Each structure stands twice: as C-alpha cells, then as structure tokens.
C-alpha cells in the first residue's frame, strides 16, 4: 500500500492512501490532540459500529412521523414549523437531518429554525456539521463548530460525537479540520 504525506494547516502531516485517508487522519488527529489514548482507540472504533446501529434502532415511530411531517412543512410551509417544536426530540431532529442531507436548501431552513431550540443537541449539531461540510458551506459550518465548542466543556466530547456520527450520514473529513480550528480559537 503506497502512502502519500500531505500537510494541512490544522492537522499537520496526514498519511493518506487511495482507499481511506479520512480514517487514518481522524486517528492521527486524535493522537495529535491527545484526546484519545491509544488503548481507547479500539473501544471507540467498536463504539462507532454500536452507535450507528443503536441510533437507527432507538428512533421511535412517533419520531419518524414527526420528522416526516416537519420535512413536508419545510418543503411547503416552513413558517408552520413552530407548531411542531413542543413535540420535537433530538431523535426526530436527527432523522430529519438525515432525510434532508442531500437537499442544501432544506438543511439550511431546518438549521435556521432548529438552532435555537433545546432539542437541537450535540449529536444534531455534529450531524449538521457533517452535512454542511459536504455541501462545502465552510463558513456556516465553522460558526456552528465554534458554538458547539463553546457550549461543551472540552473539545474531546465534540470530537467523539463527530467521530461517532461520521459514518451515519454522507460524510466529509474536513469537518475535523473545522473542529481543530474551533478548538484552537477557543483555547487562545
């Protein structure tokens, strides 16, 4: 397997292959940031698989119906979303994000509406970061990452959440660059 080395401003040296540079860079990032100890790496890899499976199985039927209704309202009558806010859960919001992840307009409408509600938790924000970076909306993603880092006690919990949600949606590894930048801004 041939390795290429490249330098990025946030991550330093990243070892890349043609089949999976993101996976390698994530673990190098964790090691560089001293977020994950080497012995914890295996635990987090297995937690990733468990998290994806449990995330998909823990969503209730009512959350699925609520996310479907909100999806329809977002498309046709976005000003009526407020009527759903008392019933929204983090799981319903996550389902809606996954459903709208390929539609930039719907994702942005949902983000603008949901960001002020308590159901828009860390996991929802991490999913949103992945989606925004996939759309290459880096300024919007950077501002959300800065909010996320400010709300959390340390960057490691945000990193773990981003890592756990990495494979749930269509992902972009550049989200980790945004996190490193946000953490460095927070700790300056």
Q: Which two tokens stand for residue 2?
A: 């041939």
Per-residue pLDDT, 90: 95
Per-residue pLDDT tens digits for 119-150: 999 999 999 999 999 999 999 999 999 999 88
- Return d(Cα 44, Cα 149) in angstroms, integer: 20
- Return d(Cα 188, Cα 182) in angstroms, integer: 10
Per-residue pLDDT tens digits for 67-77: 999 999 999 99
């Amino acid at each position: 397997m041939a390795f290429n080395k490249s330098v990025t401003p946030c991550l330093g040296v990243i070892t890349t292959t043609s089949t999976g540079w993101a996976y390698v860079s994530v673990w190098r990032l964790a090691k560089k940031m001293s977020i994950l100890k080497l012995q914890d790496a295996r635990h987090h890899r297995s937690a990733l698989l468990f998290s994806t499976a449990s995330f998909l199985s823990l969503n209730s039927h009512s959350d699925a119906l609520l996310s479907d209704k909100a999806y329809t309202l977002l498309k046709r009558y976005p000003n009526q979303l407020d009527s759903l806010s008392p019933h929204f859960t983090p799981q319903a919001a996550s389902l809606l994000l996954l459903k709208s992840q390929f539609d930039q307009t719907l994702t942005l409408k949902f983000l603008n509406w949901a960001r002020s509600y308590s159901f828009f938790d860390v996991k929802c924000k991490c999913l949103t970061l992945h989606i925004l970076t996939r759309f290459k909306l880096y300024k919007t993603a950077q501002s959300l990452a800065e909010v996320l880092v400010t709300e959390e006690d340390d960057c490691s919990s945000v990193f773990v959440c981003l890592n756990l949600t990495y494979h749930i949606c269509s992902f972009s590894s550049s989200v980790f660059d945004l996190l490193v930048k946000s953490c460095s801004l927070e700790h300056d």
